[in-house]
Amino acid sequence: MKLMHRKWTEDQFYKVRKEVLNQWHTGKGIDIEHAASYLQSVPKHKSFHRKMIEADREGKILLQPRAGVGGLQEHIKLLHNLEKSGADILPTTIDSFTRQNQYEHCEEAIRETSRLGRSMLNGFPAVNYGVEKCKLVFESVNLPLQARHGTPDARLLSEIVHASGWTSNEGGGISYNIPYAKKVSLERSLLDWQYCDKLVGIYEELGIRLNREPFGPLTGTLVPPCVSNAVAILEGLMAAEQGVKSITLGYGQLGNLCQDVAAIRVLKELAQEYFDRFEYEGIELTTVLHQWMGAFPNDETQALALISWGSVTAKYAGVTKIIVKTPQEALGVPTAESNAQGIRMSRAMLNWVGNQNVLSTKELTFEIDMLRIETRCIIDRVIELGVGDPSIGTVKAFEQGVLDIPFAPSLFNKGKMLPARDLSGAVRIMNFDKLPIAEEIKQIHRENLKRRALEEGRLIGIQMVIDDVNEVSRGRFI
């Protein structure tokens, strides 16, 4: 199929679906009508979109950790522990073999896990386990379940998890390609994620509302908010075109309170603006903040302080959900106890902030105004490149550097735009390259970085970028 920003017909979808379900034996025989019947029986309290929209209306913030292990019973036990620790929504992080569609390698790792008595996988192998075992996971817990992964081609994975009662799937054709893969073309991943979104759209037509959540943080390292917001909104438009009605747009914490709060508020405002422009009606739009996604401090006290700061940011930004980190992030895969500690710390900080959710300063107003201009500049240029087609425009934008994600491994990303922090810890842009930002806004970035360089007695250059990548692991933003 040729990439276009156009809703797939059912004939197009079912033609591709035959190939998708044959990728691995667990896909054979998945029937959408039968799966819809099963999804109809999902209790309201285990429906992702219901929990999110109810929290959004009531002004509550939900907590969701990140976790997943290879063993079936071990994963169920892990989810039970997270449930008891106060999580509001449960994750299932998928293993790396599945993310690369390497199901044969995954099968071998499952056999080795059984033989050795310890997990040889860094996540849950949902495709290899298939629908019945994934249903067992869903039926063993009492909260909504979401698949979280990093898969450029998540078509079979999406079929299996949705047929198993999992009512949300994270990712998108940009956010689960450019930051995660090296050689997958953007055109390929956008088409594959159109399939995932069309699948959700088909369930919607059958009366089943499933949630889609583009991955907001991207590389999680000094990504300017205008870039991450533009990508999130573009992926939201792509999902809406295929009939998705429940969309959660995400953002990765950068550290400066005003900038982060402004970014999330602008993200929701402009997303609705572009949904209206493209005449997508009835979208349930919610937001999620990912607590710091870069290198974490080794020191537990510093790590807990960073987690707490993310919760304060989320409260002032008014997000619907927080992706919670743990004090063991710097040490490897967190334990269940560490996950529980991260949840408790986040909950405690939200309680401390209480109803102090009004933040109104001239700095915040400045950041909001600037981000509106920057984000519109990028998205409008992408749409212009596609002659009104955001999907085609996205491919051309990455080819030309109009969209550029820092520190991404993809060969289809220019990697020439460079960010750095100013004296307040806000992320500014040092080298714009082809990023289509208005000249007066570019000058604001340059002046902020110049003030930092003068204060520190240094040059504006690559060493500043390197220092900023490493500083948070040392317990500070600057």
Question: Is 170 marked active-site?
Answer: yes
Cα–Cα separations (whole angstroms), residue 20 to 103, 262, 293, 445: 13, 41, 32, 46
338 bridge partner residues? none
d(CA 306, CA 340): 16
| Catalytic residue check, 347 | no
Q: How far apart are CA 278 and CA 211, in angstroms?
A: 20
Catalytic residue among 99, 148, 347, 452: 99
Q: Is 128 left (phi over 0), alpha (psi -120 to 50) or beta?
A: alpha
Q: Kindly report the length of the chain.
A: 478
Per the DSSP assignment, residues forming a β-bridge with 420 are: 428
Tokens of 85: 């620790």
Question: CA of 66: how far to CAs of 89, 147, 170, 326, in Å?
Answer: 10, 10, 12, 9
Cβ partners under 8 Å of residue 339, min gap 6? 65, 67, 81, 82, 85, 324, 326
Chain centroid to CA 59: 21
For 154-218, give the DSSP string.
Answer: -HHHHHHHHHTT--EEE--TTTTTTTT-SS--HHHHHHHHHHHHHHHHHHHHTT---EEE--TTT
Helix axes 257-277, 300-317, angle to 10 degrees: 40
* Alpha carbon distance 16, 229 (integer Å): 31
Q: Of 159, 170, 235, 367, which is the active-site residue?
A: 170
CA 293/CA 76 separation, integer angstroms: 25
Q: Are 221 and 473 in contact (CB under 8 A)?
A: no
The set of catalytic residues is 99, 170
